[in-house]
Each structure stands twice: as C-alpha cells, then as structure tokens.
Amino acid sequence: MPPMSQSAARGRTLVVDDRVEMAETVADALIDAGLDAVAVGSSARALALLREEWFDVLVTDLRMPEIDGLELLSRSIAEAPGRPVIVMTAFGAIDTAIESIRRGAFHYLTKPFKNEELVLFVRRALEQSALRSEAERLRRALRERSVLERFVGRSEAMREVLETARRIAGADTPALILGETGTGKGLLARTLHEASARAARPFVTVNCAAIPEPLLESELFGHVRGAFTGATEARPGLFVEAHGGTLFLDEIGDMPPALQAKLLHVLEAGVVRPVGGAQERAIDVRVLAATHRDLHERARTGAFRPDLLYRIDVVSIELPPLRHRREDVPFLVEHFFELARAKHGATPARRIAPEAQRALMAYDWPGNVRELAHAIERVVLLARGETIELGELPTPIRAALEAAGASSSAGAERAAGAERAAGGDEPAFTALVTMRELQRRYAAYVLDRMGGSRGKAAERLGIDPKTLWRLLGES
C-alpha cells in the first residue's frame, strides 16, 4: 500500500455524493475537526481522482446515477486494497449497506448521522490505515531479507548486487538487470518482485527473443477478436495479466524496433491498446527488464531506441559472471549439491572428493551459475558411490584442472631451470609453497583421513565447514 500522503492525524479523505451540497457538508465537518477532505458531486469524477491522486479514506454515497457506491467501493479496493471505505446510505437501503460491508467496506453510516459519528469513524479508519501501512512495512523488510538470502555468495561483487537490490525492491520504478546468460537475471527479477509491495500480485515473464515479432505484439498488448487471421477470441495480453504486479521483459535487447516504440508509449502513458482495438486500458505494472547485450552500444547503432533505454534504465544492476567471483563457487557447489541430493533421494552421493572440488574451482564456468547447477545435478544423479570423484565430472571441467596443473608444473620447471643455470649446488626449492597452499594441502589431508566427511574434518581442524570449502578451493 502506498504511504499516507499526510500524517495519520490528518489523512486525506475523498467525499462523494451526487448531491454536491451533501458532499461539501460532510467534507466541511471533517475539515472543522482538523482533517483534510475533498468533496466531489460525481462518482465518475471521484473515480478519476482516485486514479490521479492519493486519498487515505473514501467516504461515498451508495445510490448515485453514474457509478453507484458499490461499484466505486469495488474499484477503490482494486486500486488500493488497504484504503478504508465508509459508505453513506438512507435508512431504507440497509440491505445494500450490509452488502457493502460484505464487499470490504470499513463501515456504513445511515443518514442523517451526526458529524461527531462521522469524524469518529474516519479517525478510526485513518488509524487502521496507518497500522496496516506500518505492518506492511515491517513485513516487507522481513520479506526483503528472506528472499534476498536465496542468492548464495559472499564475494564483494555479490554484496554490492544485493545491496542495490535491497534499496530498489520496494520502489515502483523500472529496473534493468544486466549480465551474461546464466548469471541469474530471472531469479533476481523474481526476487525484486517478491521483496516488493506487489508480491501478492502477478509476476509475469516473457522472453522477447523467443517469440516472433507479430506474436510478441499480441502477447504483450493483447488483441481483439478478428484483429488478424486466427484471432477467434479476444486476449488481454501480458500487461493486463500483470496489472498490480510486475512484468519481466527478458532479453529486451532483442525486441524489434516497432515494438520498442509501442512499449515506450505504454511506459509513459500507463495505458495499453490491444492489437486491432480502439480503446485504451489503464494498467498499473512495474516493468523489470534484462539483457545480456550492451544496450548503450545498440542505441548508438540504432538497434535500440535511446528514449526507451533511458526509460527502463532508471536503475541498473549488473550480475557478475561466475569467473569473476570464484570465491563464491564453494558455497554454490555446496548449495546445489544439497538441493540435488534432496531432489534425487535415491542417489548414494554424500560428498565431493577434494580433487573434484579443485576442478570445480579451476573451471571458468562460461555458462555461469546455471551451468554449475546443472553440472552438480548431473554428477549427483549419476553418482556411483558416496564420494563424487574427479573422473565423474564433465570432461571440460576435468580438462580445466589438467590445464591448470600443466601450467603450474611448467612454471615450476622454468624456475628450477633458472636456479640450475645460476650454478646453485643445492637442489632447486621447487617444493616450497605459499602458506595458503600449505593450508589447502593440510585441509585435504585431514579430509582424506576423516573419510571424506566435511563435518568431521572441519571439527578436527577447529573451523566451520564453509571455511574448509574455502581452504580446499584455494590454490
């Protein structure tokens, strides 16, 4: 729910009655009591104001000629579910007033009523609204913390990503998520949605690169019956489906130029017109977009509209490739290993051998986190025993470790040759290693002595299992 535009003490109340003098009398009574109120004599005008401005409370008559009070109640709840609505009715329409309570009205007043009674219930409505707003703020803070924790990693790069995500999660502004394929752009988009006030509303996603242009236009904006061959019935489109929630436009860099222009209009005007239709429909949608392309370069070459880029790139978050945050690999391996074991309960896999862990660390992961997740699930599914050995890893991963080892051996041989050329009588000190490598070797030794049990090895070493992972992964 949007924050109250005034303090809880004053609030802002919209009073609606087709007899404008009645609306003004009610509004004056609220103003005299120190509240903020606006009176209108048309339900259609009231509906427009509810869309254009923020009101904390709606007070409406039930029987009105254009849009009756029950319909105005329903539309107000649809626009702002947390806004209290108080209905006014004549004594002979009690049944309708009771129906309004069933539909979500806060209270009803039977005409004629005392001004003190009206002020009392408006104040109560404002207090309830303030309490609901504070409760939602606290729930959102807890939700942000919990959903953002699904991102595994402690690297500085990921900490920056999550801090930015935390700052913008509650905003309604568009955001652009950048990163290579497999870095988790879709997961971040869903996380931003679930950490926002829109979490209970739809999260709708579409891949702009996977759908041909004519179909993508209909998919996004909808179409009327008969708009084109095969359009046997009307379809609302994804913008309408996402009303009140979030629309995620994946691979927006591949959207055709003609659709970019129409998308820009929707973002600027807040309305959508279906293909073949004449009527526009107002929508309330937060747009998140993602791409692996350089949109600024595409804008310079004319492949992407600069005005659309500025519109969607209010805030951008770039997810780093996995090769740039290798320190997160052990945590990700452990995370996906446990997920895969839970998914494939029949697997005998219980641990990953140290040599296999080093191979996972040495690999560049061109497919990023997605490739890592699939690789771990594969070895768990095909595991022959309790320990995943190096030979069970996919060939490219094993080859990366062999290449790293060959490079290290070549470097050591070059160093030894230099010592011999210098005429040293003592053997070359090629066995000397860094303290980090010494720690890694000892951790691997203890892990082997403990039968491959990370828990027992960590306990013997006096460290936690994740620290053990880090030691084993460093070379």
Shared domain for 298 and 213, answered yes or no, is yes
- Do the Cβ atoms of 209 and 227 come closer than 8 Å? no
Cis peptide before 112 (omega within 30 of 0): yes
- Domain range spanning residue 372? 326-412+427-473
Shared domain for 185 and 232, answered yes or no, is yes
Which residue(s) pair with 59 in the sheet? Answer: 15, 86
pLDDT of residue 121: 92
* Residue at which a domain ends, from 289, 320, 351: 320
**Mean pLDDT, residues 429-438:** 58
Shared domain for 193 and 279, answered yes or no, is yes
Buried b vs exposed e over 199-218: b needs ≥16 C-beta within 10 Å?
A: bebebbbbebeebeeeebbb
Q: Residue 339: left if φ>0, alpha if ψ -120 to 50, beta else—which one?
A: alpha
Shared domain for 97 and 220, answered yes or no, is no
In a domain, 142, yes or no: no
- Do the Cβ atoms of 379 and 349 come closer than 8 Å? yes
- Examine the pLDDT at 250 and tell me if it is beyond 50: yes
Shared domain for 296 and 337, answered yes or no, is no
pLDDT of residue 435: 66
**Cα(148)–Cα(44) distance, integer angstroms:** 42
Shared domain for 166 and 230, answered yes or no, is yes
**Mean pLDDT, residues 57-71:** 89
Shared domain for 168 and 267, answered yes or no, is yes
In a domain, 439, yes or no: yes
pLDDT of residue 98: 82
- Examine the pLDDT at 257 and tell me if it is beyond 80: yes
In a domain, 262, yes or no: yes
**Mean pLDDT, residues 380-405:** 89
**Cα(209)–Cα(319) distance, integer angstroms:** 20
**Mean pLDDT, residues 310-316:** 92
Return the minimum-mean-pLDDT range out of 191-195, 332-336, 340-344, 461-465.
Answer: 461-465
* Residue at which a domain ends, from 137, 157, 185: 137
Shared domain for 97 and 175, answered yes or no, is no
Strands (E) in 146-270, as ranges, are: 175-178, 203-207, 246-250
Shared domain for 52 and 187, answered yes or no, is no
pLDDT of residue 276: 82
In a domain, 422, yes or no: no
DSSP string, 37-98: EEEES-HHHHHHHHHHS--SEEEEES--SSS-HHHHHHHHHHH-TT--EEEEEEGGGHHHHH
* Residue at which a domain ends, from 290, 320, 350: 320
CATH number at residue 70: 3.40.50.2300
In a domain, 257, yes or no: yes
Share of the chain above pLDDT 70, in %: 84
**Mean pLDDT, residues 376-399:** 93
Shared domain for 366 and 452, answered yes or no, is yes
In a domain, 8, yes or no: no
- Examine the pLDDT at 450 and tell me if it is beyond 90: no
Q: What is the DSSP letter of 320?
A: P
Shared domain for 309 and 449, answered yes or no, is no
If you average pLDDT over every residue of the chain, what do you get?
Answer: 83
- What confidence tier does 222 reach under pLDDT thresholds 50, 70, 90? confident
- What confidence tier does 429 reach under pLDDT thresholds 50, 70, 90? very low
Tokens of 417: 């040759």
CATH number at residue 333: 1.10.8.60
CATH number at residue 207: 3.40.50.300
Count up the domains in the chain and report the number.
Answer: 3
**Mean pLDDT, residues 71-79:** 88
pLDDT of residue 6: 39
Is the pTM value of this prediction over 0.75?
no
- What confidence tier does 311 reach under pLDDT thresholds 50, 70, 90? very high
Shared domain for 255 and 214, answered yes or no, is yes
- Examine the pLDDT at 425 and tell me if it is beyond 70: no
In a domain, 118, yes or no: yes
From the list 384, 381, 382, the residue with the least C-alpha distance to 344 is 381
Q: Higher model confidence: residue 87 or residue 91? A: 87
In a domain, 7, yes or no: no
